[in-house]
Amino acid sequence: MGVKLKKYLLYIALVLPAVAGAIAVWHTTSQRYESGIILQRVNKYRALIQAVIQLPSALWTGAITPNTTPVDVNATFQVPNYDKTTSGYWAKNCAPAVPCDYLLGNISALGTFTYVAWKTKTGLLLNSVDQASSRNSSLPRYKKLDNTGFTYTGRSYGVASTIGLLDPTPKITGTHLTILNISFIENGYQSEVSCIYNQSSRLVFNELGYFNTPGGLYAPTGFWPNGSLPNGDWPGFPTWGVLNSDFVTALAAVKSQDQYMYGFMAGKYYNGLNATQCVVTFTPTRFQVSVDMTAKNISVVPVGIISNPADDIDSSRALVNISFYGPSYLSQTLTTMYSSVLGDSFLNNIGKVQAREGDTDSASSNLTVIEEGLELLIDQFLGSSGAAQVMLLHDTKPVDCTITVQAEQFGSRGFASSSLAVSIIVISVAVVQACKRNLWRDLPVFDCLDLKSATIGSAKGSAKGNQSLPGAVRNWKGNADGHSVGAICLTVAKGEAEFQFCEDSLNEVSKREHSKGVADEEHTTLLADLVTNALTNVEGNRESHK
């Protein structure tokens, strides 16, 4: 038995340092410290105890780990302001062949900014018309008429013209902010175009004369398209064609009071546009502008009609009038003897609309193309005036907006809440135990690395309920400095190990135990058996975890 006992004691020396931390935790919360029971429980539930110990650390790590998150911040954004003091620019209508060079604006790295878009942005406007319709149910996409790289998804309604030209001003101070999204309300006009075919149209091509050329090749013929629409007369303009009007297109625009009407006259090649008559309405509207700064995408949605005249951006309707006449001026300047560039842009969209609607009825598709193309042109003219007002005259007004910025957030709400809950539980348990233990002053002083304490604790914890213990063991409270357990000494001989009482303490213990009718030899034997049983349990648990 001596050899086995030595082996068991070596196992104790190896196991105790590993479980010292767990023993300390159990020690502070136990009402009655019994080392043997704790050793067995720690050994049995080792994985669970380790997981529980790691849980607060994991929660704490999650609560402080930084991550990128979007945050909404209140800000202000500048939009065009159409003040009377600058009306000599934005309210001035410049028709073809009318001198108005001061309205032409200038060119910068951000684009061309002008009050005469039909003249200085001709190519950009024609490209927009070609993109006015989509082949499927998705919204059409077209570029903003500047160099900012932003794209409208759906109609622009002439608003959001300052996106990419000006930056929002956050209502917070700090370092540079990375803006992800911008959202604000801007007032403007919602234009709607509704077209029909009017075979009794009073718009006609009046031939002015024929000019002979050698062999009659490419002989130019002058025409004066003019006439009237239901809301008034249209004076028309001179244009040219080769031999005839087959490749000529003209768009009449008549405003009378609050009635706005368009009328197409077109030659044989553009027959799908001919005799089209359209009614245009302009409604003061409030728009929700949403901007994705990363994708450079702008989305505009009408959110309500403006009923208060004070919120109308231009009660004189000069801004609306200029935008309305713009498409007609384009047809006047883009019709040559060989083709109508504006007419070609409208025809290019017919195939898209037919594919989208699954409609082979060219008449219906043509009307849809004309409506969508004219609405887009009006929007672009309105937006061009707004951009010029900002970049040329710096006439703006602030509106409230919400910007979404990229922020660094430490942890997350879930981890922080869980960590707080665990901390509260731990603190509560510590406070309760501190009160019950008189701030831990009543706890015994136990040294888990002291072999004597480990041996006695194991012996006491391993005892069966019906076994009697020597007084030195039974009355031990875990105090490593206790004199009562000093009676137990470990004598290790070569090749064996055995327990025996020290000579001085043996007499003292014998006297106490004799009064209870128990012999000292029995105490020694019982103690050795108990220690052996305890070490056997430790050995068995150790083998089971290998």
pLDDT given at position 442: 59
In sequence order, what DSSP letters do the residues of 241-308 get, joined into one string? EESSSTT-EEEEEEEETTEEEEEEEE-GGGTTTTTEEEEEEEEEEEEEEEEETTTTEEEEEEEEE---
For 90, half-sphere exposure in the C-beta direction (CA atoms, 13 angstrom radius) is 31
pLDDT given at position 480: 64
pLDDT given at position 114: 95
**What is the SS3 assignment for 501?**
strand
Q: Indicate the domain borders of the chain.
A: 2-65+413-544, 69-408
In sequence order, what DSSP letters do the residues of 347-402 get, joined into one string? HHTHHHHHHHHT---HHHHHHHHHHHHHHHHHHHHHHHHHHHHHHTS--EEEEEEE
Task: Please say whether the dihedral angle defined by the alpha carbons of residues 507, 512, 515 and 518, taken in this order, is positive or negative.
Answer: negative
pLDDT of 165 strictly over 50: yes
Identify the band that residue 441 occupies on the pLDDT scale cut at 50, 70 and 90. low
Taking the C-alpha atoms of residue 186 and residue 258, their distance in angstroms, rounded to an integer, is 23
Residue-wise pLDDT tens digits, 339-353: 888 888 888 888 778
For 139, half-sphere exposure in the C-beta direction (CA atoms, 13 angstrom radius) is 14
User: In this structure, are residues 386 and 397 in contact, taking their beta carbons and an 8 Å threshold?
Assistant: no
CB within 8 Å of 526: residues ≥ 6 apart: 467, 468, 469, 470
pLDDT given at position 517: 40
Q: Residue 36 belongs to what H/E stretch?
A: helix 35-44
Identify the band that residue 229 occupies on the pLDDT scale cut at 50, 70 and 90. very high
Taking the C-alpha atoms of residue 224 and residue 526, their distance in angstroms, rounded to an integer, is 129
Identify the band that residue 189 occupies on the pLDDT scale cut at 50, 70 and 90. very high
Kindly list the distances between the CA atom of residue 420 and the CA atoms of 55, 69, 423, 509, in Å, as whole numbers in the listed order: 12, 22, 5, 52
Taking the C-alpha atoms of residue 399 and residue 383, their distance in angstroms, rounded to an integer, is 17
Residue 220: what residue type?
P
Q: What's the DSSP call for residue 163?
A: B
Residue-wise pLDDT tens digits, 370-388: 999 999 999 999 999 999 9
pLDDT given at position 396: 95
Residues in the chain, how many? 546
Q: Among 251-255, 423-427, 475-479, 518-522, which range has the highest average pLDDT?
A: 251-255
User: In this structure, are residues 140 and 127 in contact, taking their beta carbons and an 8 Å threshold?
Assistant: no
pLDDT of 263 strictly over 60: yes
Strand ranges, E, within 156-269: 169-170, 179-197, 204-210, 220-229, 232-234, 239-242, 249-256, 259-266
Residue 369: what residue type?
V
pLDDT given at position 61: 74
Kindly list the distances between the CA atom of residue 419 and the CA atoms of 51, 54, 67, 409, in Å, as whole numbers in the listed order: 15, 12, 17, 16
Burial track 375-405 (b if 16+ CB lie within 10 A, e otherwise)? bbbbbbbbbbbbbbbbbbbebbeebebebbb
For 374, half-sphere exposure in the C-beta direction (CA atoms, 13 angstrom radius) is 32
pLDDT of 530 strictly over 60: no
pTM of structure: 0.68
The mean pLDDT value for 129-139 works out to: 83
User: In this structure, are residues 440 and 15 in contact, taking their beta carbons and an 8 Å threshold?
Assistant: no
Specify the range with the lowest mean pLDDT, choosing from 9-23, 51-65, 520-534.
Answer: 9-23
User: In this structure, are residues 506 and 484 in contact, taking their beta carbons and an 8 Å threshold?
Assistant: no
Residue 190 is encoded by which pair of tokens?
Answer: 């919602």
Q: Which residue has the tokens 């900014």?
A: 113
Q: Among 50-59, 343-352, 436-445, 536-545, which range has the highest average pLDDT?
A: 343-352
pLDDT of 162 strictly over 90: yes
pLDDT given at position 244: 77
φ/ψ of 489, rounded to 5, equals -120, 155
- Among 19, 52, 51, which residue's Cα sits nearest to residue 38? 19
Q: Among 185-189, 504-508, 514-518, 539-543, which range has the highest average pLDDT?
A: 185-189
